[in-house]
Structure 1
Amino acid sequence: MKKLKDQLFEKTRFVKPYGDSFNDGIVQLSFTLPATDKYVAIESAKVLVSKMGIKDVKIATVEEPIENFYFFVVYGSVIHEVDLEQVKPIIPEYEKMSKEEVERYAKEHGIEKIVIVGATIGTDSHTVGLDSILNVKGFKGEKGLEAYKCFKVYNLGPQVMPSLLVEKIKELKAEVILVSQTITQRNMHLKNLTELVDLLEAEGLRDDVILICGGSRIDHKVAKELGYDAGFGPGTTPSDVASFIIQNYVKRKKEV
């Protein structure tokens, strides 16, 4: 007997968000609205959400954290749907491997240690994402790259200027670079990421390293446009990054 989810997906390729039942379109939004009156703010919030293509709008929470600014949590049902067959995601190319599979793959190809340098660049002080990928304790039940026998990892931490990172890359003879960006105000993340690529190219190092960027506002499409080999966003686990690194490292060695 087919599972219920298989039966549902056979019926339609057009989907909406899932709340209580398939394709009911239920979503939750949160936002802050400036207004001088609470009840005007509430009605304005309903109008605004309706203009987003959401019907049956319900205000779950309204708070006034500071005077004349109202914070809302709103529920409703989206009227729009998406055609799954028309969505063509741009994602890094790799076959997902476990930690043990990555280590075995490295051994089979005569790889002892790949030198990896990671940093949060610019003035960005956020390291949660970087640490979740690199640190031994890892993320979502997976060990970080420091725990892999085939990797030698240097985590430089936050607020590393691109110029300093390039110096460290040369000093440590890095083969893989992981850079993280969380702060995106005024597109500072794009400036920092572009500056690093420019510096690596100026030093003649760009083609010698696997260059990866990650962060809450990063995806593979943006990364490729900026000159990176891969970009990883929300939901990425250490094994995702490890799989991409080892497979691309071996591929590069074969091409030499």
Structure 2
Amino acid sequence: MSTRHTPSAAKASPDLIRPYGDTTGDGMVQMSFTLPIPHDKRAEGAALQLARKMGLEPALLVHARAMGPDFTFFVVYGSVRHLVDLREVTVIEREYPLLGAKEINLTIKKTLRRKLVIVGACIGTDAHTVGIDAILNIKGFAGEKGLEYYREIRVVNLGAQVLVPELVARARAEKADAVLVSQVVTQRDAHIHNTSQMSAAFREAYPAGQVPLLVAGGPRFEEGTASTIGVDRIFGRGTTPGEVASYLVHALVPPSPRKV
């Protein structure tokens, strides 16, 4: 006989959880979306109908605002019956240690015996430099200084709206060890198309086995899809300069031989 998970089942098992709103296990969630219709009572009814079809019952409309003459933005609140099974959640664990700036500089200097060269840019029509600047600029992000702060890393920041051929040419000219690209604009999967195009251009321009390390970052990239779009690593929202610097050392600097 099959069994159905209920709120009591969620309490009985620490692996089964529901969203929390006002009380534990009440399943309350809040979500926002835009519909391509002018703001009126009919539009609000359509928003509630959509929320119910998505499993919110009861669904409450807490905010509606016209977005020009033909669109309306909504925020709805309601309870879902779905359970999350933590045993089925998969994540990608960081496979390298986080290093301090002093250790990173010392490792590069002793092992590579030259500066690590990084070329960064926002490619295509993307003009949002906040992400790439947070990682590269010395002012950094989240209390950490950017890669420009590391004395053994040479950073070439090309800025925004860099065409892929220009990025490839500059990477070759600088003899880049790694290329970091940031993509914030995601309409119609522009971030995926641009990054895939960039990867293909580098692999065409470089001999096999000599392509720089290709790293992509942005808020809408999915972990685990690096190989699908042809890059070596993807960093998502909230990534700090220290995480990127530690990864670059892990990926590019061979470990020092052990003394016996």
Aligned-pair CA distance for 1:108: 5.3
Distance 2:20 2:199 in 1: 40
Cα deviations by residue, 1:95-135 (Å, 9 ceiling, x for unpaired)? 23343443344355355420000011112111111111111
Aligned-pair CA distance for 1:158: 0.6
Summarize the alignment of residues 1-256 of structure 1 with structure 2, pairs less than 5 Å apart: 11-35=13-37, 38-90=40-92, 93-107=95-109, 109=111, 111-204=113-206, 207-208=209-210, 209-251=212-254
The two structures have a TM-score, normalised by structure 2, of: 0.83
Distance 1:206 1:189, change over 3 A: farther
**DSSP-derived class of the 1:117 partner:** strand
* Map of 2:3 onto structure 1: none
Aligned-pair CA distance for 1:22: 4.1
**DSSP-derived class of the 1:186 partner:** helix
Structure with bigger helix share is 1
Matched residue type, 2:183 = Q
Distance 1:68 1:176 in 2: 45
Aligned-pair CA distance for 1:94: 2.2
Matched residue type, 2:136 = L
Unaligned runs of 5+ in 1: 1-7
- The answer to whether the Cα contact below 8 Å between 1:59 and 1:74 also exists between their aligned partners in 2 is yes
Q: Please provide the CA RMSD for this pair.
A: 2.7
Does 10-19 or 47-56 show the bigger shift?
A: 10-19
Aligned-pair CA distance for 1:171: 0.8
Distance 1:9 1:206 in 2: 55
* Map of 2:4 onto structure 1: none
Aligned-pair CA distance for 1:253: 8.9
Aligned-pair CA distance for 1:92: 5.5
- The answer to whether the Cα contact below 8 Å between 1:133 and 1:144 also exists between their aligned partners in 2 is yes
Matched residue type, 2:77 = Y
**DSSP-derived class of the 1:129 partner:** helix
**Deviation >6 Å, runs of 4+:** none
Distance 2:239 2:132 in 1: 11
Percent identity of paired positions between Structure 1 and Structure 2: 41
Unaligned runs of 5+ in 2: 1-9
- The answer to whether the Cα contact below 8 Å between 1:130 and 1:180 also exists between their aligned partners in 2 is yes
Distance 1:95 1:15 in 2: 31
Distance 1:233 1:139, change over 3 A: same
